Chain A
């Protein structure tokens, strides 16, 4: 932890580019924008808060675990990355319950981000707002510069937690449906992926097993050439072999100018593919960083740290 302290006190933990300055005042001070998560080839530096902020108190900020770039060139390259998702002071309440409490962060293109937190932490509410299924009470969300609406929906590929494909559809009907309504849907890619997963396209959705339904739905989403993929529990109901294929699909099918947000409880399965993570707790950002940054500062994996932070 000495190393952690030194880094925290010695220099700013993250770049303070224009995007970071857009953070809302009530965002925890040490929270960093994912925009500053370095690309894989960037030299690493580590930053973390001191011990006093590493508590699991609901209102505390658990800190930043960014693997920050040390050199100017990678930092400049990072700064040039276009912001895909920008949230500013986003809040949403259900009656008395505050599901999201003024969260602010940004995600640039080319990143796979894990949105993590226990049940009721606000993950699904956040995802629904970005997907256009819910309206925020206050704050602002833009996807590639577009407010949530028709334009944003055209570039966001959303995988819900439940099977949303009508049960009376055949797999072929689902392909036709996506091809009709999403201009970025790649039919050939979908057919190839379905072939890889040995899904019979003539079968009705209602006759498929739960896992196969999830696979079909994931294929429909990942066959789009979207700018932002939002995957809510994409691997929860499938077998380990299919899980590997799905994770491989997520990595291989998104382009460098798009980003992926994955919400899951199976952290260890996706940890290896994550560029960054966000811990949500009681509707606030509890922690934000990269797996590498966390490893260097605390010597823990994201899964281990999650279990520690959210221990019941």
Chain B
């Protein structure tokens, strides 16, 4: 049944997300052109500085639009979760012959998949918007850019091995961070909708800020302790901090999962 639910939820979300992804790709292509012209105008900056600023501004706006579209898709996944369970659609979804846990897992997976896809599409579009025109115009600009990035990483981590370890941990942290973020949003919607039945949307937003506020403050306190201890940890400090973040991500994710599941299983009521 999980497969059927996933297929259904993915299909529903795709109606909205796919056009947004196509639009992001289209904006990325436009951005490529913009950056290429910006490079060209830069050669004669004395006379074409006005055109360079205008085209460059459009390029930046394009990148912002891509990021906004990704954010909209992520917000829409949360809205879909809310609509499918806490509005009239809930009368259908919650009487399907499936376990509450299966239903909940399908919703979480759908939200995580689409949120991750939205982020991935935004990153890919932004990177392409930079790499393609740079390659077309002058490959050396790109090479020097990567040299700078590499230099920066080595500078903050100390050596290449540490840089590699931190890159891996950073990737894992990013993935768990996405899942954690999704679970926080889902929990806020679930708690807010059950506690504030008269104004579920406001309740969801309010609980999102409450949960985030508590989570951020608790993490900050622990982060401070780790940072203070980092002095004695030497080069491993950055890794310790990264591992700490990972543990926090997983802890918050698990906690949020069980809170939401308990509410859906025991306290659920649509009115």
Residues of A in contact with B (beta carbons under 8 Å apart): 128, 131-135, 149-151, 153-154, 156, 158, 160, 162-166, 168, 177, 180-182
Contacts and interface: CB of A to CB of B under 8 A. Distances in A.
B96 interface: yes
Secondary structure type dominating chain A contacts: loop
Interface string B245-271: 000000000000000000000111110
A168 B90 CA distance: 15
Given A133-B268, A177-B8, A181-B4, A164 B99 contact: no
Contacts of A131: 95
Contact of A180 (B4, B84, B266): B4
A168 B15 contact: yes
Contacts of A162: 88, 91
A135 B95 contact: no
A153 B97 contact: yes
B2 interface: no
Contacts of A166: 12, 83-84, 89, 92
B79 to A, nearest CB: 12
A135 B8 CA distance: 26
A117 B116 CA distance: 50
Contacts of B4: 180-181
Given A133-B91, A164-B89, A164-B90, A180 B8 contact: yes
Nearest to A174: B92
B95 A150 contact: no
Contacts of A135: 266-268
Contact of A133 (B8, B84, B95, B98): B95
B201 interface: no
Contact of B94 (A133, A149, A151, A165): A133
Contact of B95 (A132, A163, A168, A177): A132
Contacts of B96: 153, 181-182
Contacts of A163: 88
Given A132-B94, A135-B267, A165-B89, 16 more contacts: A133-B268, A135-B268, A150-B97, A150-B98, A153-B96, A153-B97, A162-B91, A164-B90, A164-B91, A166-B84, A166-B89, A166-B92, A177-B8, A181-B96, A181-B98, A182-B96
28 contacts: A132-B94, A133-B91, A133-B269, A134-B268, A134-B269, A135-B268, A149-B99, A150-B98, A150-B99, A153-B95, A153-B96, A153-B98, A158-B91, A158-B95, A160-B88, A160-B92, A164-B91, A165-B92, A166-B12, A166-B89, A168-B12, A177-B8, A180-B4, A181-B1, A181-B96, A181-B98, A182-B96, A182-B97
B43 to A, nearest CB: 50
A142 to B, nearest CB: 16
B91 A160 contact: yes
Nearest to A161: B91
Contacts of B99: 149-150
Nearest to B92: A164
Contacts of A177: 8
Nearest to B269: A134
Contacts of A132: 94-95
Contacts of A164: 88-92
Q: Rank and list the top 7 A-B pairs by shortest CB-CB distance, nearest first.
A: A164-B91, A154-B97, A164-B92, A160-B91, A153-B97, A162-B88, A181-B96
A149 B98 CA distance: 8
B97 A181 contact: yes
A275 B226 CA distance: 72
Interface in B85-141: 88-92, 94-99
Contacts of B95: 131-133, 153, 156, 158
Nearest to B267: A135
B10 to A, nearest CB: 13
Nearest to B4: A180
A67 to B, nearest CB: 33
Contacts of A168: 12, 15
